[in-house]
Chains A and B, each alone.
Chain A
Amino acid sequence: MLNPNKNLSTSAKYGYGIASILLLLTLWSALAGFEIISPAKLPAPWDVVNAEIRILNTGVLVPAILASLQRIGIAAIFMLIVGIPVGIAMGAWPTVNAFLSPLVDPFRSAPIVAIIPILVMWFGIGETMRIVFLWLGAVVYLIPMVRDSIKAVDPCWNSLAQDRGATSMEALFTAIVPMASPRIADSIITSVSVMWTYITVAELVNAQSGLGKLIESYKKVSQMDAVVALILTIMALALITYQLMRWLRNWKYDWEAN
């Protein structure tokens, strides 16, 4: 019988997960090991591991990770400063939403990468442009998600607050926003994940540091194993930040665990 809500045991959950990774690794090893696909196009898993160690030993990996992390960190701070208040305002006041949504909503489906040339014209090819790009790419996701989190709060909480004598502002900040915060936290997590997907693009133009720049330099010398190793490194970092944020969220909002 179909049951989408079936609770898998922990061992089953990890078992299936590990099985799928093993399957992929086996397939990959076979394709690369028997050179069904040439090593220039598909480096073998062990080559990738060697490449990772090699990059680590040259001492460029850690500074690159730190540079990328710093960019994402700064962009994330600005994303929160703008995205949270704007999203809350749009969720709370339909007039604000009607006024701002034509500016915000189209950006969600905009080819954000294609905007880079414009950003270069406006902000130059330095750090500012990269931060603005990351910020823009993520904040256009965050704002509508925060707005929807506010709107999704059951109106009964607003009624309760107003009945107890709350002003509109008090109702918003003592009842609605606290009730929306777990979902707002989810939105932040998603937006930061979006930033990780944009990091290599942000570091494509004239970057002096960062993982994207490192990938570019290895690509230029056709070291595919190093490129794959770095892509996996980015994925791992994205996963770690994601899990960390999720853990933080579930700890802070333990009354609505996810």
Chain B
Amino acid sequence: MILSVRNIVQEYKTDKGLVRIVDDVTLEYDKPGINFLMGPSGCGKTTLMRLMGGVRPTNVVTPTRGTIHIDGKLCYGPHPDVVTIFQKSTNFPFKTVRQNVNYSFELGEWANRIDYDEQQKRLDWILEKVGLTDRQDNRPAQLSGGQNQRVALASAFVMKPRILLMDEPFVGLDPNTLKGMQKLLVELQEEVGCLVIFVGHDVEEALFISDRITVLTSKPAVIAKDFVITTPKALRTDDWMDTNPLPLQIEKEILHIMRQTK
């Protein structure tokens, strides 16, 4: 089991007392792939993701109840094999594209993991992959929104993470750029072979990129349905979306659940 989240119950303290935002959710991921986590906004997806990523400065650090295991080991707090791409585009404005992608290698943790030559090789590889080799000396302000997303993607994949958490990373991109980003993500995931957990709420996006779609209901979040899609991603064309019964069936079911939970 690469990542398992068991019996998570998460409560927040508010003026009105404890509010339960996640109610006994168990998610188990045993093989690499893109796993879509879907549900209405405010349903606890982001909370679950933060718990998995162990990001500290929020008010959520450890679950109220439940356990998180990575490779069978109990884990709270940041884990070097888990990388998050945050909702806000987070490229340092004072660094060039290459320096941004290189950021993790500046840190002691990574400087010790792989040597300088390997770091440079990885930088060249990922910049080529995301198509920003000729923009590597530009600053984020000189790039478009889509290009900045590519930089964020590159600075995560350059670490070749075991687990990649993405919290609605493609919000606000135009349809063409969005398609490009989704293709890029699928490509990179297949090359690196990592486990991606992708939080979002676009059904079509989910059908296009996912190996598995988990639908949560809102407040508190519980798992409503789990879909596994085995169709190779190369075959998931617009035509497949429109005519194949499988995506149509899944889409129908998801929309049905969403309507019920509102």
Contact = CB atoms under 8 A, between A and B. Distances in A.
A174 interface: yes
B236 interface: no
A175 B103 CA distance: 10
B17 interface: no
A162 B92 contact: no
A253 B94 CA distance: 8
Contact of B83 (A155, A161, A163, A174): A163
B94 A255 contact: yes
A81 B76 CA distance: 39
B64 to A, nearest CB: 21
Nearest to B53: A163
The interface residues of chain A, by DSSP majority, are classed as: helix
Interface stretch (A45-53, A121-129, A165-173, A184-192): A165-173
Nearest to B90: A160
The interface residues of chain B, by DSSP majority, are classed as: loop
Contacts of A179: 92, 94
B141 interface: yes
A166 B109 contact: yes
A158 interface: yes
B116 interface: no
Contacts of A170: 107-108
Contact of A164 (B58, B93, B94, B104): B104
B161 to A, nearest CB: 10
Q: Which residue, of B82, B83, B93, has the highest number of chain A Cβ atoms within 10 A?
A: B93
A164 B105 CA distance: 9
Nearest to A175: B92
Interface string A245-258: 00000000101100
Contacts of B90: 156-157, 160
A165 B161 CA distance: 12
B245 interface: no
Interface residues on B, range: 20 to 34
A255 B93 CA distance: 6
A179 B88 CA distance: 15
A91 to B, nearest CB: 14
B55 A165 contact: no
Contacts of A175: 92
A167 B108 contact: yes
A171 B82 CA distance: 17
Given A159-B55, A174-B107, A165 B92 contact: no
B197 to A, nearest CB: 14
A254 to B, nearest CB: 9
A73 interface: no
Contact of A162 (B56, B110, B141): B56
B103 A174 contact: yes
B92 A163 contact: no
B92 A178 contact: yes
Interface of B: 53, 55-58, 78, 80, 82-84, 86, 88, 90, 92-94, 103-104, 106-110, 139, 141, 159
Interface of A: 154-167, 170, 174-175, 178-179, 253, 255-256
